[in-house]
Amino acid sequence: MKITRALAAAAALALIAAPAAMAQNADPNARAHFLSPIKVVGKQAKLKVRYRCSSGEALWVSAKQDKSRKKNPDIKKEGSSKISAAWWQSHRNTFTCDGQYHTAKFSIDKVEPGSKGKLKKGRAWVQFCVTQGEETLILSKSGWVKVKRGKPAGY
Quote the pLDDT of residue 94.
Answer: 97
Break the chain into its structural domains and give their ranges.
5-149
Quote the pLDDT of residue 76.
Answer: 93
Quote the pLDDT of residue 5.
Answer: 41
What are the angstrom distances between the C-alpha of 68 and each of 26, 27, 123? 35, 36, 9
Quote the pLDDT of residue 81.
Answer: 85
User: What's the DSSP call for residue 116?
Assistant: B
pTM above the 0.75 mark? yes
Q: What is the pLDDT of residues 94-128, one digit of tens each?
A: 999 999 999 999 999 999 999 999 999 999 999 99
Regions of the chain with pLDDT less than 70: 1-24, 152-155
Spatial CB neighbours of 74, under 8 Å, sequence gap ≥ 6: 66, 80, 83
Q: What is the CATH number of domain 5-149?
A: 2.60.40
- In terms of phi and psi (left: phi > 0; alpha: psi -120 to 50; beta: otherwise), the region of 102 is beta
Quote the pLDDT of residue 68.
Answer: 96
Quote the pLDDT of residue 24.
Answer: 64
If you count DSSP H runs as helices and E runs as strands, how many of each does the chain have, helices first?
Answer: 1, 8
Is the dihedral angle over the CA atoms 53, 130, 77, 134 positive or is it negative? negative
